Amino acid sequence: MNQISIIIPNYNGELFLNRCFESLTQQENIHEIIIIDNGSSDNSVNYIKSNYPELILIENKKNLGFAIAVNQGLKASSGKYIFLLNNDMELEKGCISHLLKCIEKNQDIFSVSSKMIQYHDRKKIDNAGDEYTIFGWAKRVGYNKSSDKYQKPKEIFSACAGAALYRKSILEKIGYFDEHFFAYVEDVDISYRARIYGYHIHYCPQAIVYHVGSGTSGSRYNEFKIKLAARNNIYVPYKNMPWPQLLLNSPFLILGYLIKYLFFLKKGQGSIYLQGLKEGLQSLDKIKKIRYNNKNFLNYLKIEWILIKNTLKFPFF
């Protein structure tokens, strides 16, 4: 049954689109492909219209950010499942079928993350799922490790939205991506929210994609990304932790922000990181906290235990 809607945000990604689209022709179970162009200044829109007129194209006049673009795609989609895909990805044959098989194992699985391998060095992993720590960091599992590793499926804290399958019925229940995030860490935020509701996130090693990396932002450590990620790392705990949990974890969060600052200071980008933290603290009034519910008390305890375990596993950069 063709039951998957694919949503691809695009911003000046013409260089990557052919490779991405052609790899999708080798996939099964696709109901529709929705491209949201975020005001590209390159030839992306004309390229899509000329070469892939069968795809659904939503055109924005300016760059509204990843979260808004994805939500536009969600509102336009009609599939049972949503596959979010970055434009700088190439999928191995059968990737989507493996993700579908995994998510259908249990109705409580919210999302499934693919095995992302570095496009230009296929001996190394780019992402084997994301974990979140008590320091307020999201950590890419397996980054720069051998691509022969991480061969077993497992539960993870968050799926990387660059290539992940989501159950739309749960998205309708818990809400779409938070548009205040613009880009970066919004996938951790929505996974955190899903966990509060008692849902699970899994990693599927058979679903393989190749990721160019920073296809839109330009580099791993650039001013735009550092500032936004710093701001959003303020938003995630504030939004998702009830006040007692936030108070309990505040010493570790402050320590985490300090360590990150020293890391970026060494790179000559400390002031940029501080600007992001400052913006986050000054704009908390825009962020709607998740309302605490006693029936989710055990879920909060489970999340806290996961944060502690992940901190012990990933204490350093």
CATH code of residue 88: 3.90.550.10
In a domain, 218, yes or no: no
49 & 137 share domain? yes
Rounded CA-CA distance 100/64 in Å is: 30
173 & 301 share domain? no
When divided into structural domains, the chain yields a total of 2
Question: Strand, coil or helix: what is 204?
Answer: strand
197 & 248 share domain? no
Range(s) of the domain holding residue 245: 223-313
Q: Under a CB-based contact definition with an 8 Å cutoff, are residues 314 and 133 in contact? A: yes
140 & 178 share domain? yes
38 & 149 share domain? yes
94 & 231 share domain? no
91 & 198 share domain? yes
281 & 136 share domain? no
In a domain, 285, yes or no: yes
In a domain, 64, yes or no: yes
In a domain, 216, yes or no: no
In a domain, 217, yes or no: no
Question: Strand, coil or helix: what is 305?
Answer: helix
Of 182, 211, 240, which marks where a domain is finished?
Answer: 211
Beta bridge partners of 58: 36
Of 165, 190, 211, which marks where a domain is finished?
Answer: 211
Of 170, 187, 211, which marks where a domain is finished?
Answer: 211
Rounded CA-CA distance 90/208 in Å is: 9
Rounded CA-CA distance 64/11 in Å is: 10
In a domain, 76, yes or no: yes
151 & 297 share domain? no
User: Residue 266 burial (CB < 10 Å; 0-12/13-18/19+)?
Assistant: exposed
Q: What pLDDT does 221 receive? A: 75
Catalogue the long-range contacts made by 280-286 (C-beta closer than 8 Å, 24 or more residues apart).
280/230, 280/231, 280/232, 280/233, 280/234, 280/235, 281/234, 283/180, 283/231, 284/234, 284/235, 284/238, 286/180
207 & 241 share domain? no
113 & 236 share domain? no
User: Residue 160 burial (CB < 10 Å; 0-12/13-18/19+)?
Assistant: buried
Q: What pLDDT does 141 receive? A: 94
In a domain, 9, yes or no: yes
pTM higher than 0.85: yes
In a domain, 120, yes or no: yes
Per-residue pLDDT of the chain (317 residues; tens, 9 = 90+): 569 999 999 999 999 999 999 999 999 999 999 999 999 999 999 999 999 999 999 999 999 999 999 999 999 999 999 999 999 999 999 999 999 999 999 999 999 999 999 999 999 999 999 999 999 989 999 999 999 999 999 999 999 999 999 999 999 999 999 999 999 999 999 999 999 999 999 999 999 999 998 655 556 678 999 999 999 999 999 999 999 999 999 999 999 999 999 999 999 999 999 999 999 999 999 999 999 999 999 999 999 999 999 998 865 54
270 & 304 share domain? yes
